[in-house]
């Protein structure tokens, strides 16, 4: 009895210590469970039977609260988008997970992200063991994301301030491209920088009407196939191309 009571006390002490070390751990786990439920509800549209274990682990590991303002920490693990300033948002966790999983990434691949935002999506990608190149057009957001990603040790992520519509040709070609803002067409420069066999996930549609999450694949001959997955709502992709 004494040994059993001692073990209970030790286990209880460890639980308290772990909670103190990471007070958001339980909230992250609950968030991932909500994402799992959304995957089940949209399995037919996503053509994915369930949330991939690697994506779930990444989302359980990456501290989403560190990618939003302090006054939003209490909402960080709700399954909804949150504002990050300059009219931009950090995407809903379900959407982050869906876009990540649709890229079908393998460790060591090179991924271009258009729209760094707060850096959360880049951190999730890096947690999957890929090399991330991410571009943000809003300089204060890009600078803050660069500092944040460096502070948390995401050495696999390289950031750039610039117009993501034109991609990052000096770092291409890419195995996968993820665009986190809506365009009414597929940017030709991004398509050009996608490797044969590569995948792109992008919301397509007008900013104030319906948008669809689209998956593009490029085959060995450079032919492109597209699939419309599910309706979404993203902020518009901005840049020089808008002023033509």
Pairing between β-strand 174-179 and β-strand 194-205 as defined by DSSP bridges:
parallel
Distance CA 27, CA 207 (A): 32
Angle between helices 25-41 and 93-102 (to 10 degrees): 60
Distance CA 128, CA 149 (A): 15
Is there a catalytic annotation at residue 118? no
Distance CA 70, CA 67 (A): 9
Kindly name the residue from 91, 118, 209, 210 that is annotated as catalytic.
Answer: 91
Q: Which of 105, 94, 111, 231 is nearest to 179 (CA)?
A: 111
Active site amino acids? 91
């Amino acid at each position: 009895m004494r040994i059993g009571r001692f073990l209970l006390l030790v286990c209880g002490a460890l639980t308290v210590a772990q909670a103190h070390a990471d007070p958001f751990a339980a909230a992250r786990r609950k968030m991932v469970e909500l994402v799992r439920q959304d995957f089940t509800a949209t399995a037919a549209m996503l053509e994915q039977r369930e949330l991939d274990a690697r994506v779930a682990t990444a989302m359980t590991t990456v501290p989403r609260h560190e990618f939003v303002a302090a006054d939003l920490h209490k909402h960080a693990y709700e399954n909804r988008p949150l504002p990050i300033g300059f009219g931009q948002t950090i995407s809903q966790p379900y959407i982050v997970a869906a876009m990540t999983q649709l890229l079908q990434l393998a460790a060591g691949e090179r991924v271009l992200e258009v729209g760094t935002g707060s850096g959360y999506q880049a951190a999730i990608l890096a947690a999957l063991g890929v090399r991330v190149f991410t571009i943000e057009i809003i300089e204060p957001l890009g600078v803050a994301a660069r500092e944040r990603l460096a502070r948390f040790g995401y050495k696999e992520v390289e950031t750039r301030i610039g117009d993501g519509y034109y991609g990052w040709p000096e770092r291409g070609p890419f195995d996968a491209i993820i665009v986190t803002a809506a365009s009414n067409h597929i940017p030709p420069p991004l398509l050009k920088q996608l490797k044969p066999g590569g995948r792109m996930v992008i919301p397509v549609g007008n900013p104030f009407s319906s948008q669809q999450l689209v998956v593009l694949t490029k085959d060995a001959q450079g032919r492109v196939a597209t699939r419309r997955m599910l309706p979404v709502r993203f902020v518009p992709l901005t840049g020089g191309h808008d002023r033509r």
